[in-house]
Amino acid sequence: MPDSVWIRAILTVALLLVLLGAYALFETRSVIVTPYTVEIEGLPPAFNGFTILHLSDLHVKRYGDNQRGLARLIAEQDYDVVVATGDFVDRNIPDPAPARELFRALDDRPIYFVPGNHELTTGFRLRDEFPALGVTDLTNQAMPFTANKETLWFVGVGDPYVGRDRLDAALAEVDGDGPRILLAHSPGLFKQAQAAGIDLMLSGHTHAGQIRLPLIGALHIPGQGFFPKYDHGLFTAGKTKMIISAGLGETLVRIRFLSRPEIGLIELRPAG
């Protein structure tokens, strides 16, 4: 083969790699808002249209000074409550400042938080700042949300990868009727949620695989292995639904491909 053909082939491959790298960098900084409509059996009329803003897996990432980029995007959304499903710090950089900046940038709507494996393996220092930030720690606890004398329950657990999940203890605090929404960092609790009759489970942890392949999706997710079943999006089993966020940050390899950072916007509607 002539040298000129080899040179053209090498330059073509190099250009493709540069373009793929540039696209991956674009995706890594480009947050999308993913809307979901979730039907829940027995949803009280007061919660028809109730909307949850779901944040997860920041991993100390910043979107501009004081998280200004994220704050602007969130301010454009219409929602009733914020849930945060863990890994806002990173085990290699357990700095609470990026999460602090994000929570300070939110308005005065309730914020419910459950820790991920990265919080729980680095001392969960962020929790000490929750009172000043208006954040409620729901680790292995339940809390009612009331509107027009009707109730929706938010239930939270610790992360199962570090052995701190107590769904039984959290559900023991539910002392009335009303749908139950479970906040759990890992989707590994989905079977337990089904058995407990949870209506909706919100999770993160997977980063949607972070690097995905066309037609295949995520190749590997910790805790699930290769070609995982629960990687991203909406899943249903019986009456229980689960939404897995792609998260806002990255770990290990600080890049994404076909897996943009994500904010979830989940609107509740009555079933039927």
Please name the helix (run of DSSP H) or strand (run of DSSP E) that holds residue 3, with its range, or none: helix 3-29
pLDDT digits 0-9 by tens, 155-210:
999 998 888 899 999 999 999 889 999 999 999 999 999 999 999 999 999 999 99
Domain residues for 190? Answer: 31-270
Question: How many whole angstroms separate alpha carbon 35 and alpha carbon 205?
Answer: 19
Contacts of 10 by beta carbon, 8 Å cutoff, 6+ apart: none
CATH code, 115: 3.60.21.10
Cβ proximity of 58 and 88 under 8 Å: yes
Cβ proximity of 211 and 219 under 8 Å: yes
Cβ proximity of 83 and 154 under 8 Å: yes
Q: Does residue 169 fall inside a structural domain? A: yes
Rg of the chain's alpha carbons, rounded to an integer? 20
pLDDT digits 0-9 by tens, 101-146:
999 999 889 999 999 999 999 999 999 999 999 999 999 999 999 9
Question: How many whole angstroms separate alpha carbon 28 and alpha carbon 46?
Answer: 38
- Total of domains in the chain: 1
- Mean pLDDT, to the nearest integer, of 10-33? 59
Q: What is the pLDDT of residue 243?
A: 98
